[in-house]
Structures are given as C-alpha cells and as structure tokens.
Amino acid sequence: MLALIFNSFVTLLVVVDPLGLAPVFAALTRGSPSGYKREAAVRGTLLGAAILFVFAFIGDGLLAALGIGMPAFRIAGGILLFLTALDMVFGHPLGHPSQTQNQEGPVVKSDISVFPLAIPLIAGPGAITTVLLYTGGSSPVETAVFLGVLAFVLLLVLGSLLLAPRVMRLFGETGSDVISRILGVLLAALAVQFVLDGLRPVLRV
C-alpha cells in the first residue's frame, strides 16, 4: 500500500506538475486583479478535479465499452507518459502555452479557468491517462487510496496557483526548469514500468 501511495503521488506530482503550473498561471494572469487571480485559481482547480474524478469512476466502464483491455491501455498509457516525460526533460511541457508570447501588458482577456487552466494544464492527457491506469482493475481500497492521493495533489495545485507570485520569486525560472527536468526523468522511469506491467500478461501467453 505504501508503494501505491508513493508511486501514485510521484506520478501525479510529475504529470500535473503543481510547481510548473505556477509560472504559467502567473504569465496567464499578469496584470489582472488579485481577486480575479484567486477566483480563476479556485475555479480552474475545481473544474480540473471534477474531470479527473469523473474519469476515475467511469474509466473501467469506458474501457469495457470500447473493448480495450487493461494490458493494452497500460502499454499505450505508458508510452504517452514517456512522451510527456521527454517533453519535460527537454523543456517543452505538453499543453503548456509559451510564456514568451505575451510579454507586455495584461495577458488575460478572457476566462482562463476552463481553458487552458482546467484543460489541459490540470486535467491534461497525461493526468487522465494516469487516473485510468491507477483505477482500472484496482480494488475499492486501492482506488480510494489513489483518490486520496489525487485530492492531495490537487490541493498542492491550488496552493501553487494561489502562491504563484511567491513561488516565482523563490525558485525563479532557472530553479523551476531544473525541478521540471528532474521530475521528467522520474516520470520516464515510471512510464517504462507501466509498459512492462502491460507486457507481462501478454508475454505469459
């Protein structure tokens, strides 16, 4: 059980990347009132959480309806997470908008809580895939433990968004880049493990 908690926490921490969301959110809300920033952070986190929890509960039914077995999904999900890890290691996180596009003036001209904050920054393909991988075929206890870890990571996301200005001053762009690349390497290793887990029942045939 401790291994499940640790592995799921590290995977979600890397894929959702609360620390990496801070500079993106700061760039998206530059020049906006503090009240709007708080509202966008809370609403975006709640929407992202709703999407991920929905996939956690309907994941098995969705795969069954599509005729997809868990070994195939684990292999496909592992490959997808590995590609995400490569982008993180090389400094191009999937779904993260460029921070160099809006360097002057307020960048928020519309509500960013749904897009791009909730989707795809919080509930992106990697996060959805991770939720399905950990909840598909799991026991009720394992699913409950994973959902608890997911809720904790989402709380970290909310805290990171609310403290985005302070986080940026603390780590700076260089510090955030270094942490993102280290987490990308860990995600790559976990992604390979997902592929191996998917191949194991196939190789036994």
> How do the domains of the chain map onto residue ranges?
2-98+105-203
Check residue 93 and give its pLDDT. 47
Check residue 70 and give its pLDDT. 73
Rounded average pLDDT over 118-142: 86
Check residue 205 and give its pLDDT. 52
Closest listed residue to residue 63, CA positions, set 47, 77, 53:
77
Check residue 97 and give its pLDDT. 44
Alpha-carbon distance of 29 to 115, in angstroms, equals 13
Alpha-carbon distance of 92 to 86, in angstroms, equals 8
**pLDDT of 28 higher than 60:** yes
Distant-in-sequence, close-in-space partners of 44: CB < 8 Å, separation ≥ 6: 112, 113, 114, 117, 118, 121, 122, 161
Q: What is the pLDDT of residues 138-160, one digit of tens each?
A: 889 999 999 999 999 999 999 99
Q: Say how many Å lie between the first and final Cα of the chain, rounded.
A: 28
Q: What is the pLDDT of residues 104-116, one digit of tens each?
A: 444 434 678 988 8
Closest listed residue to residue 126, CA positions, set 91, 90, 88:
88
The pLDDT mean for the chain works out to 81
